[in-house]
Structure 1
Amino acid sequence: MVHNNYAGQVMQKTSELGFGWVKQQIEWKVFEHNQGNYDWGSMQGIIDAANNAGISLLFSVVNAPPWAREGGFEPNVGGPPADPNTFARFLGAMASKYCGTSLKAIEVWNEQNLHYEWGNLPLDPAKYVALLRPSYTEIKKACPSMYVISGALTPAASNGARQSRGGIAAMDDFEYLEKMFQAGLNNYMDGIGAHPSGYNVPPQYTWEQGCEAIQRHGNSGFNGACDSPHHSWSFRSTMEGYRNIAVKYGAGNKRIWPTEFGWAAGGAFDARYGYANDNDFNEQAVWTVEAFQMMKRWGWVGPAILWNLNFRVVADGTEKAQWGIVKNDWSPLPIFHALRDMPK
């Protein structure tokens, strides 16, 4: 995540690591308060900083403005537009403005299999593809070279707890991805977004091995992989599962883009993320390097975006900061040196 005040420093640190991509989440509602009136202000500073550093940008675009949402929407959660074409026009305008700059890829939405990323509405893969379809068309019309990445799903088992707008809490990401393909996904994306989380399971272990792995590597009490075995606890199983589904539906030529992955470490700032108590900073470093090397060996992975660089700087003490790879004064944690020195 880039804040304009730190954009130059973010790009400098990324270059120091030897990486070539930065992801930024873009909230549509910030840049089109009123329909048809675009305010690119803060976006421009990030584009310029990346241009100057030779860094490629992935923008993950979410959160419809109030004028675009359904009647009676819940303002306390982000959600999609009532008319997918309104989103498509915004993405087309953005792609047109920044075609040929550091902006090289657009991720269309984020974790749409999770209730609070989809406005507490019913979770519907076909509805998501209906959002993606015109977005893909408008982006490609404006900038044929722009990569269009499907919104990465959150790794999760299905949770049927009902939400206020009729949706459930979460849909299993493998099930959701299959239904996306059944609705025509392969025709409207250049890469498949993924969020393969690590929790407290090292990257080489499958979900079937997850319980044994967390006992072997030390466990302070977070037992998700033992108490509710599921692929979502395993980086490897999530990635390999997405690949298998893509091949099943004739999309073996499309790469999996991990637009967010990593291991929280150094102690939990939030009790809901107890697995961060299990992972020390050296484990975070070793496991992350191994994950990058695994993806390199697989050969079917696109640019991999590590979550995250600098939340210990911009939001120290929050749950997001648990994944940061620099301290709150920008000094490096062990993972920073390990990533800088690893073969690219």
Structure 2
Amino acid sequence: MKPRRGRVGVVVLAAMLAASAPLSPGHAGVAAAQTPADCIAASGSTQVGGSPGALFGGLSDADLARELDVARDAGMFAVRIDVDWSVVEPVRGARDWSVPDRMVDAITSRGMCVLGIVTYAPEWARVATAADEDYGRPADPRLFADFAGAAAERYRDRISLWEVWNEPNLATYFRPAPDPVVYALMLRGAYREITRSNPDAVVVSGGMAPGSAAAGGIPAVTFVLALYELGAVRYADALNVHPFTFPGLPNDAPGAGDADGNSAMVLWPIRDVMVARGDAAKPVWMTAVGAPTGTGRGAVSEEAQASTVRILLNATVGNSWLGPSFVYAVRDNGTDESVLDDNFGIVRRDFTPKPALAEVRDFTRLYPPSAGR
């Protein structure tokens, strides 16, 4: 995922407060057989995946393999990767799938599942007012849907879990500005084309960040309400939130320090909207969970990062409406501690572990992939 951060606001629940209790080791393991049906069955509420980020596809073979080994050995059932339209088809009509092919091959060869994000328009397909922007939205949602269908067809036997775009409620990743109507058309078209290519696929909406109106975004709950009004939620098998809360913790009370910027618990208001709209059976996934360490503004200590991961993973226990959690990121993107985006990993750039890695391992030992089936 090219987007590497988000912030979220919070309503305090006892379940989240209790979730900060330490875990004890259990029995580790990742499901060996990962057919498309296995991956759909494995995507239960207590399952943990990894979200390496947009730089993952450009790693050397050795580093890519080593990072995936960290994910596998931590008990992650799946890895979330960009199937990036702008990378695959920079020139219209000339698609080169080699970058996602390499990632998919490496992930599936380790017995893990793939969550593929169909995302990011190439320059030729962007809306004219954002043609110069890396994250300009598509000018024609139908062309985006066509790409999504082509991706689903290519990976029909290897990817059964799909996410449509990333953080569409943020101006940063939906230039020139987030637009629920445009995203609704993209979601509807992508869902139809993906499920036409693979009728059994699970299609998840793009992960929603807090979306401050002051920064040109749309708050997550407001965005979800708009999608319901537009009739678009029927084209997602699950909704999706990125519950980033840094520099606060997910269980910080509103008004406590920096907790006003903590929106992990928009999960619960979104759930209330879904129940009120008759969607109680639909889950909410969390496809980017974590916090940056280092010295940058908004960074947290490594211990606080570990606590953030532990609290959010434990929130899925007993809340069956929460889908799987994907930890962002597996490995630091860089070594500059002053840059937030360099420091989301649960291992450092040199692969030495941070405390959050132990939290993931402990959780997956208690709740191995088979437990979610």
TM-score range (shorter-chain normalised) is 0.7 to 0.9
Residue 264 in structure 1 maps to residue 292 in structure 2? yes
CA shift for structure 1 position 329: 0.7
Q: Deviations over 1:187-226 (max 9, x none)?
A: 2011112111121332234xxx2333x4xxxxxxxx4x3x
C-alpha distance 199-316 of structure 1, shift in aligned 2 (>3 A): closer
Letter in 1 for 2:266: T
Name the Cα RMSD after superposition: 2.0
Answer yes or no: is 1:56 the counterpart of 2:77.
no
2:303 matched to 1:275?
no
Relative contact order higher in (CA < 8 Å, ≥ 6 apart): 2
Pairwise CA distance, 1:311: 2.5
Q: Which residue of 1 aligns with 2:135?
A: 78
- Alignment match, 2:354: 333
Residue 234 of structure 1 aligns with which residue? 263
Matching residue of 2:231:
184
Q: Is 1:147 matched up with 2:202?
A: yes
Shift of 1:317: 5.5
Give, in angstroms, the shift of residue 145 of structure 1. 1.9
Q: Which structure dedicates a bigger proportion of its chain to helix?
A: 1
Give the superposition deviation at 1:35: 2.6
What SS is found at the alignment partner of 1:61?
strand
Task: Give the superposition deviation at 1:334.
Answer: 1.1
| Aligned twin of 1:29 | 86
Match of 1:247 in 2: 275
Counterpart position of 2:36: none
Structure 1: runs of 5 or more not aligned = 162-168, 215-222, 269-273
SS of 2:80's partner is strand
Task: Give the 3 Å change call, closer, same or farther, for CA 250–113 of structure 1 in structure 2.
Answer: same
Distance 2:65 2:134 in 1: 31
Structure-2 residue corresponding to 1:220: none
Change in CA separation of 1:69 and 1:286 when aligned onto 2, cut-off 3 Å:
closer
Structure 2 alignment gaps of length 5 or more: 1-51, 368-373
Identity among equivalent positions (%) equals: 26
Partner Cα distance (1:51, 1:298) in 2: 29
State TM-score, norm by structure 2. 0.77
Instruction: Identify if the C-alpha distance between structure 1 residues 308 and 252 changes in structure 2 by more than 3 Å, giving closer, same or farther.
Output: same
- 1:283 deviates by 2.4
SS of residue paired to 1:49: helix
2:187 and 2:145 mapped to 1: Cα distance?
8
Alignment of structure 1 residues 117-266 onto 2, 5 Å? 117-121=173-177, 123-159=178-214, 169-205=216-252, 209-212=253-256, 214=257, 223=258, 225=259, 229=260, 233-235=262-264, 237-266=265-294
- 2:82 matches 1:12: no
Partner SS, residue 289 of structure 2:
coil
